[in-house]
Amino acid sequence: MKSKAFSVLTAIVLALFAISASIAAPILCRPFYYAHIEALNMPERTGWSHEQIRKAYDDVLDYLLKDAPFATGDLAWSESGMSHFADCKVLFKLDLWIFALSGIALAALILRLRTKKTALPRLADRGPSFWAAVGMLALFGSFGAFAASDFDRAFTLFHKVFFPGKTNWVFDARTDQIILVMPEEFFRNCGILIGGLLAVFIAAYILAGRKRRAGSADRF
């Protein structure tokens, strides 16, 4: 437990947990989407009822998270649209696996530190959580600023990076009507939620890993 390499590994796990947890929040919290149905006037804008819109979203999430057959309720969909959601399913499940495994790893680490009554080696007099926060700021700070200034370009860049060489993420509302009930405003708010949660994690990590006071027994 005295190796500084273990502290570096802990910082990486802390960062992975914070990132995956923040991304998982809008995926797992369906009420977050439901609140947008009326807030964005979707029934008036599309002609579908609240129940039809909610059913379409639930069908897609059931496909992504529960391996249910692909469906979008009463809304039309195409093979191209379904193939994009198949790509999304891989990324969603990867995030959830990282969230689960990093959470288990952190729980085991905390238990070990408590039972052994020891602390992790500090790096430049800062705890691993501080360096996890620094890494996340370096990774997401510039992209967050870019997204805040030009969400459309950031949205396009995101898809080009995570779906390289593919264009099936560009939906035609005539054949893939689900895009009409997943408007840009919803994805923008997902980004805001993820960014807000990351900011909370970063602040908490910086406080936890700040310079140690004399006699302090902090562990991260």
Q: Please tell me the predicted confidence (pLDDT) of residue 129.
A: 92
The CA distance from 33 to 76, in Å, is 20
At residue 217, the pLDDT reads: 44
Q: What is the pLDDT of residue 173?
A: 94
Phi then psi for residue 107, to 5 deg, are: -60, -40
Task: Show the low-confidence residues of the chain (pLDDT under 70).
Answer: 1-2, 118, 211-220
Residue 137, CA atoms < 13 Å, CB-side half-sphere = 14
pLDDT of residue 185: 94
The residues near 161 (Cβ < 8 Å, ≥ 6 apart) are none
pLDDT tens-digit series, residues 178-218? 999 999 999 999 999 999 999 999 999 999 887 655 444 44
What are the residue ranges spanned by the domains of the chain?
4-208
Taking only the tens place, the pLDDT of each residue in 46-68 is 999 999 999 999 999 999 999 99
| Dihedral (CA of 158, 162, 166, 172) sign | negative
Give residues with Cβ within 8 angstroms of 88, minimum separation 6.
64
Whole-number Å distance between alpha carbons of 170 and 158: 13
